[in-house]
A and B are shown apart, each in its own frame.
Chain A
């Protein structure tokens, strides 16, 4: 077929979609939040353990979604538990996505106002951002995935390059001693490292849009593997470069790390500027992903046209964004998003899988 009429995405696009949904505000906030919880430099172990937990969770979601080809979670939830309970589960998921979207925009606005546009009113930053997100979302999943594909290589390149350059202030002693206080802090840190991967829930919708849904497991592995590696690098590089104490005292430790060294001879002496640029684009992808998934959910649960929903969500996201008044509340909101994520994990994929298996194996029903 030369002219494609189906709105499907390839396996690579799925991986990038997942990566872009996971890799967002966490790059800036992860080092501090995880050290606040654990208080030791061993937090990189927490990231590793957290990553594995998340991959297992994602596998459950993929396996469940693969049982219902061409159905998103909003559609198969209804088939498993009935229209009304399924719809309620979907509404929880939609609210979750809207809140994350609002959170991402807020973090974006905070960073922009702090580093780039001091004194600019917050609505002037938030509204154009949401508009561009709406423009891209209205193109359907295929054009969203394509935009991600254009931005992805640029951002990964700059990200890795800035980390690589910060090796000059890296001191291995900042990461030592390993496991001086035993494994307890590692598990304490786990709480915030699992939260950092929030967003991979979109996989439950993506499987339905894949050209080859049978490759969803592979796509998920790559899609979570890339942010996993990048988060691990972030934590190691930031702690190695700044030490635990200074990370605790900084609002955006990753940017502070990049501000703390200069490379003479390059056009940009400090790498914080290109880093901020790609981080903004990355956060935009992150936001668009949640925006689209929330709109898709509303349109599938309530039967609206997706274009109408995209417009309707503009004020909803705008208000969510401006709800927290101070930056501490923003971070608190981030924590509650993580908790919501865990609750939703038990509510949606686990509960649904149990009921699905129960109905299929025990009651021998054809779901």
Chain B
């Protein structure tokens, strides 16, 4: 202690050191507050929108009346100005009453309307129906007359209008204080295709479509299971859309289910265009580069997620379902790992982890080796690389940026290009530009190899959005490496580790099972253990039913 004090007293630090010390503190505090401010921007927004929304909904709630003319006028007033809303008035012969069918052009099935409704209502059966009271009429029609399976009664004007606009056919009859809604929609939708964003060699070729009912039916068709529950929600304040959450009742953790429900109920937005909106509105950390919900087009992927105790969120109008919570390991898994035998599955998975590492770090390592530590690579290799770099006029960061950015542009352009030109452009871009850049002496040939390997590696990541994350982070790594070399790269890795270990998706730590360490879940992490060994569900999801096999 005494020697230490003497050492401290004899060399009091000079003002320069103090300036550096306090500057470093203030910069850190500054970063902290900027971060806090950015987060506070998002959190405070939920409540006022909700109140406004509640007020609006209570405004126009009125019921249908007995008076036919009034009802018709009320409906016409709200939706009658649309040219695609059709009012077909006729005389329901056997009821001796006027009636009207209201439907939207292109949303209804004409044959059904003609065949069932009009024929039955207009034909004169001779039976005397006038003694039925107007109040019982709707029940009578539903029970005895109309041969339609999806038909129900609507008494409330607002709901009625909405249902008509959603594609139902409404039947209004004189004297009846309610309307009958006949679900006859036959919206045209595309066929079920193989999902283009997640192509597989082995496995089902089925992918979700834009129609929610078809998607949920695809989940049901995966196999008979009475504990698969599908709950429906309505999202969007102005344009309403159906959203369902699917889970397996006796596997999912109830706390997780409640959390997902709570978060979905906080969504207040006028229109939810795609499931990406949901993902962004319910995620834990909006500043994180990592996705916190897993999007997929594959029903098999969803169902296996459900069986692990996760929850799926499906939105009408998009083929992309969300699976929550997501963990880091999921981003590098493909359903194919399980369909193939375990040895190829394991091999491919290890390969993907390696590819992810390359996609993230290869350019950063190149920069730090070339600019800072050429002595650390084998001498002959170092000599070769430096020889080829001799004519390059830029520092290695600029050199890498030139090629990386042009590859990224090429990739972005490749998505937009029409299919027949795409591959040709790839060849032109990749081969010719690369070759020409080397010839012109802008970049070194070794760098072309590095960038090409990086690009190919990032294609091997099975989840597209995870690939983008790695592509963004790669530039961060390159910047760190260009400032502090290998030390900067290590710091970048440490920051990434720190961020990942703080990040949670719906309460599940993002990097589990690596940390918190759950050894039994390692069977499905870097390797894919033989199926008979994977007797239990992942521990991280804290499922009710722990066993997969008995």
Binding site for B on A (CB under 8 A): 1-4, 10, 12-13, 99, 112, 116-117, 120, 123-125, 127-132, 134-136, 138-139, 143, 145-151, 267-270, 272-273, 276-277, 280-281, 284, 307, 311-312, 314-316, 318-319, 322-325, 329, 332-333, 336, 339-340, 343
With CB as the reference atom, state the residue of chain A lying closest to B325.
Answer: A2
A268 touches B377 (CB 8 A): yes
Residues B487 and A117 in contact, CB atoms below 8 Å apart: yes
Q: Which of B1-17 contact A (CB under 8 A)?
A: 1, 3-4, 7-8, 11, 13, 17
- Are B28 and A323 in contact (CB-based, < 8 A)? no
Residue of A nearest to B378 (CB): A269
Whether a CB of chain A sits under 8 angstroms from the CB of B22 is yes
- Say how far B429's CB is from chain A's closest CB, in angstroms: 29
Indicate if the CB atoms of A139 and B498 lie closer than 8 Å. Answer: yes
Pick the 5 closest A-B CB pairs, nearest first: A3-B507, A149-B515, A315-B21, A146-B501, A2-B255
Are B491's CB and A147's CB within 8 A?
no
- Are A116 and B486 in contact (CB-based, < 8 A)? yes
Q: Does B256 contact A (CB under 8 A)?
A: yes
Categorize the interface residue count of chain B.
35 or more
User: Which residues of A are found within 8 Å of B491, using beta-carbon distances?
Assistant: 128-129, 132
Verify if B78 is at the interface (C-beta below 8 Å from A).
Answer: no
Question: Given the complex, which residues of A lie within 8 Å of B25, measured CB to CB?
Answer: 311-312, 314-315
Contact A132–B495 (Cβ < 8 Å): yes
| Cβ 8 A contact of A281, one of B253, B372, B373, B490 | B490
CB A162 to nearest CB in B, in angstroms, measures 14
Q: Which residues of A contact B376 (CB under 8 A)?
A: 268, 270, 272-273
Residues of B within 8 A of A151 (CB): 494, 497
**A13 in complex: contacting residue of B28, B502, B516, CB < 8 Å:** B516
Query: Please, could you name 8 A-B residue pairs with CB atoms under 8 Å apart, sorted by A?
Result: A2-B259, A99-B4, A131-B27, A148-B515, A269-B378, A315-B25, A332-B7, A343-B1
A322 to B484, CA, bound (A): 19
Are A146 and B516 closer than 8 Å at their CB atoms? Answer: yes
**A323-B11 in contact (CB<8A):** yes
- Say yes or no: A117-B24 contact (C-beta < 8 A), given A146-B511, A329-B7: no
Give A322 to B8 CA distance when docked, in angstroms. Answer: 11
Do B517 and A12 touch (CB < 8 A)? yes
Chain A binding site: helix, strand, loop or mixed by DSSP? helix
| Besides A132-B495, A132-B498, A318-B21, 19 new A-B residue pairs in contact (Cβ under 8 A), listed by A number | A2-B507, A3-B506, A124-B484, A125-B484, A129-B491, A131-B27, A134-B28, A139-B501, A147-B497, A149-B516, A151-B494, A277-B490, A280-B487, A281-B493, A281-B494, A312-B25, A332-B3, A333-B7, A336-B3
Distance of A311 Cα from B29 Cα, bound (Å): 7
Interface residues of B (CB under 8 A from A): 1, 3-4, 7-8, 11, 13, 17-18, 20-22, 24-25, 27-29, 32, 253, 255-256, 259, 372-373, 376-379, 484-488, 490-491, 493-495, 497-498, 500-502, 506-507, 509, 511, 514-517, 542
B484 touches A2 (CB 8 A): no
Chain A residues, CB < 8 A from B372 = 116-117
Docked-complex contact B378 and A150, CB < 8 angstroms: no
B28 touches A319 (CB 8 A): no
Q: How far is the CA of A1 from the CA of B507 in the complex (A)?
A: 10
Cβ B18 vs Cβ A319 within 8 A: yes
Known: A132-B495, A281-B494, A333-B7. A4 touches B373 (CB 8 A): no
Q: Which residues of B contact A130 (CB under 8 A)?
A: 24
| Contact across chains for B484 and A315 when beta carbons are under 8 A apart | no
Q: Which residues of chain A have C-beta atoms less than 8 A from B501's C-beta?
A: 139, 143, 146-147, 149-150
- State in angstroms the CA–CA spacing of A112 and B29 once bound together: 26
Chain B residue with Cβ nearest A125: B487
Q: How far is the CA of A117 from the CA of B378 in the complex (A)?
A: 18
Residues of A within 8 A of B497 (CB): 147, 150-151
Q: What residues on A are CB-neighbors of B21 within 8 Å? A: 314-316, 318-319
Q: Which residues of B contact A116 (CB under 8 A)?
A: 372-373, 485-487
Q: Which residue of B lies closest to A322 (CB)?
A: B17
Q: Which residue from chain B places its CB closest to the CB of A269 in the assembled complex?
A: B378
Query: Which residue of A2, A129, A150, A323 contacts B8 across the interface (Cβ within 8 Å)?
Result: A323
Pairwise interchain contact A277-B495, C-beta atoms closer than 8 A:
no
In the bound complex, how far is the Cα of B379 from the Cα of A2, in angstroms?
Answer: 53
CA distance A127 to B17 in the complex (A): 12
A315–B23 Cα distance when bound, in Å, is 8
Q: A143-B501, A150-B511 are in contact. Are A323 and B29 (CB under 8 A)?
A: no
Residues on B with C-beta less than 8 A from A150 are 497, 500-501, 511, 514-515
Interface centre among B7, B27, B485 (most CB of A within 10 A): B7
Known interface pairs A117-B372, A132-B498, A323-B8. Does A1 touch B24 (Cβ–Cβ under 8 Å)?
no
Q: A191: shortest Cβ distance to chain B, in Å?
A: 15
**Which residues in B have their C-beta under 8 angstroms from that of A322?**
13, 17
Q: Which residues of A have CB within 8 Å of B4?
A: 99, 333, 336, 340
Tell me how far the C-beta of A256 lies from the nearest C-beta in chain B, rounded to whole angstroms.
Answer: 15
Given that A125-B487, A135-B498, A318-B21 are known contacts, is A311 also in contact with B7, CB under 8 Å in the complex? no
Q: A10-B517, A12-B517, A343-B1 are in contact. Are A112 and B487 (CB under 8 A)?
A: yes
Chain A residues lying within 8 Å of B253, measured Cβ to Cβ, are 2
A138 to chain B, nearest CB (A): 8
